[in-house]
Structures are given as C-alpha cells and as structure tokens.
Amino acid sequence: MQLPDLPWIEKYRPKNLDGVIGQKLIVGRLKAFVERGNFPNMIFAGSAGIGKTTCAIAMANDLYGDELNGAMKELNASDARGIDVIRGEVKEFAKTMSMAKVPIKIIFLDEADALTSDAQHALRRTMEKFSKETRFILSANYASKIIEPIQSRCVVFRFKPLNEEEMKEYIERIVREEKLETEGKAIDALVYVGDGDLRKLTNILQSAAMQSRKITEASIYEVAAKARPKEIVTMLKDSVAGNFNSARNELDNLMLRHGMSAEDILTQCYREVQGLGVDERLKLKIVVQLGECNFRIVEGANERIQLEAMLATLALLGKEKG
C-alpha cells in the first residue's frame, strides 16, 4: 500500500533559509550566524504560523546538513513543561559533545512561554553551565512570559505577520506545484482568512483542494467557516443605520449558515470597522462596544444575547449620531 502524501504544511516547509518566505531581516542575520558557525542563544517571538519553527529548522539544516540528527534536539514545551524535563532530557543533551563538523549543538524549545516558572529557572542554569557546548533557541508567542534572566541571555528576534505579497507568492507556489485552478478572488479570499498565518492558510487551501481542484472564493470561505467581508460590513452598516432587524437577520446568517462563533464574528467586525465609512467618533464607539461584548462572552455570557445587545447598542448610537 502506497503511503499518503505529506500534509502540505510539512510538504512545503522550506528546508533551508533561502526558501523561507518573508522575515528578510531575520533570515539575513541567521545566514550570517551560519557562515560564522557560531551564534548566541535566541528567542523567536511572534504570533502563530509566521515562520518561527521553520527558521529554526532551516538554520539547523544549513548549519549541520546530514549531521542534523545528532546535533539538534527539538522539544515542544507545551507538552513537556515541568522542571523534570529541563533537569532530565534537556540537561542530558546539553552536556554531551557534538560530533558534527560544527562543535555546537542546538536545543530548540517550541512554545517556551508555556514552561512553568520553576522550569524556566532551571533552564537558565542549564544555559549558563553548558554555554560552550550548546545553544538554545526558544520559540514563544509571548516573549514577555519568559523570565527576565533568560531574556537577558538571548537575542530576541520579533517575527512579523507576512504581508499580502508574500502570502500570494506562497499560495501561487502551491497552486503551481499541485496543478490547481484558482477562480475569481480565491487568492484574495485565502489571504484574508489566513490573516498572516501561513499554517492556517495552507490547511484551508489543502482542505478546499480535496473537494475540488478548482479553488473558488466561495469554497475558501466555506472551508474556513468565515464570512465574506461584505457580509460583516452589511451587518454593521445596518445596525448603525438603525435597521436592527436587518442586522439581526444578517447575524442569523453568519451563525447558522456559516457556523461562526461569536468570537470569530467579533474578530471580523474589528477588522472591518476601519473601512466602514462612518464618522470617526462613531468608529471609536463601535470599537468600545466590540471590546465590551468580547469581554462578556469570554467571561461566559450567552453569545447570542450579547451579540444582539451589541447590535442594538450600535443602532442606538447611530440614531443619536443621525
């Protein structure tokens, strides 16, 4: 039986730094480290799906080549986040000598901001003790959750979400390699739902391609369970115009037909407020109401009641402005 193909997020992961999409300044500095064969401890900080893990693995591939297996250890700190892992598995690997041509090993801790405080203090001591033999790369969504003694021992690289051109370049590469067809505004829809996250974008594109080799705007929004921007804008415009019933009908469409959660709706509303075409002071009041509604829902309030209450408040604000 033939083994299935790799998931696209692994299939199209760059094997070296030259293939990394975006993050040009960071990639340039990592290439300089590879050329010198030496580098400091590092923290890769930024949101999900923007290349932190990819850059770490690509740098290691460029540095070690075929000797990678014995020279790099990768751990996910969200799975193994206690002090025992740092004192055991991490310390044991850190103190061994590298047999590769580059006499420095790498320990890559993904999601390092999930480490407990005790584990981070143990890690700090390990970083000090084995600084000659081992370098640490810590990946974190929130660098502020990593204790100051570790931050001071590392160079912090802050990764930015990919821009529209970079995401389109990546999409077109997959479309070309997989011999897909794109129709209408399908690529723009992918960029919109991806929101700078290449991992999310890749999974959505692969899911859509499993349904049909022709990728359409409708199939992208359907797979992503997202609304088209114009549907969100229509709901907001109806509410601020005082047409509460129309806005509520549009909300029904989003929740029932698209199956969207309240937080997804609020996130898309927040993205569309700036282009709403209403008075700036009214925009500010809308953002305040979105924040209030989001807080109440996160605290456990009924999603439907809170969303309708928000639309009702926007209708009242629109009437006051009118």
Q: Higher pLDDT residue, 101 or 138?
A: 138
The mean pLDDT value for 32-60 works out to: 91
Q: Which two tokens stand for residue 262?
A: 């309240």
Q: Count CB atoms within 10 A of the CB of residue 320.
A: 10
Query: Residues with Cβ < 8 Å from 30, sequence gap 6 or more?
Result: 17, 39, 55, 59
Strands 155-158 and 181-182: unpaired
Sign, CA torsion 14/19/24/29? positive
Structure tokens at 183: 């129709």
Is the four-CA dihedral 210, 216, 220, 225 of positive or negative sign?
A: negative
Q: 289: which 2 tokens?
A: 């109401």
Q: Could you give the CA distance from residue 317 to residue 93 in angstroms, rounded to a whole number?
A: 61
Distance of CA 305 to the CA centre of its chain: 30
pLDDT score for 26:
93
pLDDT at 14: 86
The percentage of residues in the chain with a pLDDT greater than 70, rounded to a whole number, is 95
pLDDT tens sequence across 19-30: 888 888 999 999
Residue 2: band (very low, low, confident or very high) from pLDDT cuts 50, 70, 90? very low
| Residue 220 neighbours by CB distance under 10 Å | 27
* Res. 82 pLDDT band, cuts 50 70 90: low
End-to-end CA, the chain: 68
Per-residue pLDDT, 56: 92
Q: Is 243 helix (H, G, I), strand (E, B) or coil?
A: coil
For the chain, list the domains and their CATH numbers.
Answer: 8-158 (3.40.50.300), 164-224 (1.10.8.60), 229-321 (1.20.272.10)
Dihedral of the CA atoms 124, 125, 126, 131 (nearest 10)? 90
Q: Encode pLDDT of 215-256 as tens digits.
A: 998 889 888 888 888 899 999 999 988 889 999 999 998 888
Tell me the pTM.
0.82
pLDDT greater than 60 at residue 171: yes
**Strand runs (DSSP E) across 30-129, as ranges?**
42-45, 72-76, 105-110
